[in-house]
Amino acid sequence: MRATRAATFWGVLENLDYLQDLGITALYFTPIFQSPCNHRYHTHDYYNVDPMLGGNAAFEALLKAAHDRNLKVVLDGVFNHASRGFFFFNDILENGSHSPWLDWFRIQGWPLSAYDGSRPANYIGWANNRALPQFNHDNPQIREYLMQVGEYWIKKGIDGWRLDVPSEITRPGFWEEFRDRVKALNPEAYIVGEVWEDSRIWLDGSKFDGVMNYLFTAPTIAFTAGDRVIREHVEIPSYYPYPSLTAEDYAARMVELLDLYPWQIQLTQLNLLNSHDTARLLTIAGGDQASVALATLLLLTFPGAPSIYYGDEVGLPGAFDPDCRRGFPAPEQWIGRFWTTTSN
């Protein structure tokens, strides 16, 4: 992969040959919208791609180039919360109880304290984080706003949404409506939820097409890395890739997983070994490359859609967030590819 403009969508566009040589058929991006944070889960503006990534023009160019190569593009939808800089919340900070947007969030009292941690925030933030004011999904106005965001980018041509912490949105019918409206625009759009556990209630045909399949991840790591798993890298948050599993134990766990969902659902699951929310497997396994190679083989042969976290193919290490989100290494730092493809 060439480093030219690599941190922007122009850089991704320049490296599409590299991605296709790996056999990649779809690109999933963590949040791309304007934000004050490098990970962009603190959304400022759902309609503008962060200028640091090249802005809307760069993304639209990448989207066209990807589609010209029959590559799909999936975006991350953070619809449970926004940021303190989100216009509608910032208006409340400016105008207090006179703001017309009060009911878009869960305000509990006055004054609001968005930045001073020594004082009560007086509003609900995701995971008690005052930087992430949580939407009031009981308000039909914010529900409609979020639905229109979902529709807007589908109309722009994206091929699906990965939905952040969807279980936090408890308003009945929210995700059913989201699915109906997205599928009305593109019946083939892929909707995948970030659900780490048994997901049968999410995969009944009314909400998501698949989930991030950590029920595959955990036993696969427990089998391939075994007693080499470094517990400090997996205990918080834990998806329980320990204790170690024998081949017989692993086979039993996979049979249980295959029995959990209908076959059609198995084929739409997003299978993974690690992600932006976990330590990388190479680090979890104490640098044991054989563990990663075997796990990659199992990932690429298990029913469903295998997800490769950028850099895994060249041995990029990384402990828990933010270390797992390192920049892509220069070629001289690669430890070799864990798989290659050839094209005719």
Domains and CATH numbers, the chain: 9-81+137-333 (3.20.20.80), 82-134 (3.90.400.10)
What pLDDT digit, counting tens, does each position of 80-133 carry?
A: 999 999 999 999 999 999 999 999 999 999 999 999 999 999 999 999 999 999
**pLDDT tens profile 35-51:** 998 889 999 999 999 99
Encoded tokens for 334:
């690669």
Of the ranges 4-13, 128-137, 292-301, which one carries the lowest mean pLDDT score? 4-13
Residue-level pLDDT at 5: 66
Q: Which of 50, 194, 209, 313 is catalytic?
A: 194
- pLDDT bucket at 2, cuts 50 / 70 / 90: very low
pLDDT for position 6: 66
The pLDDT, as a whole number, for residue 344 is 40
pLDDT in tens, 166-195: 999 999 999 999 999 999 999 999 999 999
The C-alpha atoms of residue 135 and residue 187 are separated, in whole angstroms, by 28
- Sequence letter at residue 95: N
194: annotated active-site residue: yes
**Closest-CA residue to 179 (of 143, 221, 207):** 207
Give the pLDDT band of residue 246 (cuts 50, 70, 90). very high
To the nearest whole percent, how much of the chain has pLDDT over 70?
96
3-state SS, residue 19:
helix
pLDDT of residue 172: 98
Name the residue with higher pLDDT: 117 or 337: 117
Q: Annotated catalytic residue: which of 14, 76, 164, 312?
A: 164
164 catalytic per annotation = yes
pLDDT at residue number 337: 64
pLDDT(1) > 50: no
- Asked if the bond preceding 322 is cis, omega within 30° of 0, the reply is yes
State the pLDDT at residue 23: 95
Query: Exposed, middle or buried: residue 80 (CB in 10 Å: 0-12, 13-18, 19+)?
Result: buried
Structure tokens at 36: 């004050």
pTM higher than 0.75, yes or no?
yes
Over residues 295-324, the pLDDT tens digits come to 999 999 999 999 999 999 999 999 999 999
Q: What is the 3-state secondary structure (H, E, C) of the chain?
A: CCCCCCCCHHHHHHCHHHHHHCCCCEEEECCCEECCCCCCCCCCEEEEECHHHCHHHHHHHHHHHHHHCCCEEEEEECCCECCCCCHHHHHHHHHHHHCCCHHHECECCCCCCCCCCCCCCCECEHHHCCCCEEECCCCHHHHHHHHHHHHHHHHHCCCEEEECCHHHCCCCCHHHHHHHHHHHHCCCCEEEECCCCCCHHHCCCCCCCEEECHHHHHHHHHHHCHHHCCHHHCCCCCCCCCCCCCHHHHHHHHHHHHHHCCHHHHCCCEEECCCCCCCCHHHHCCCCHHHHHHHHHHHHHCCCEEECCCCHHHCCCCCCCCHHHCCCCCHHHCCCCCCCCCCC
DSSP 330: P
Mean pLDDT of the chain: 95
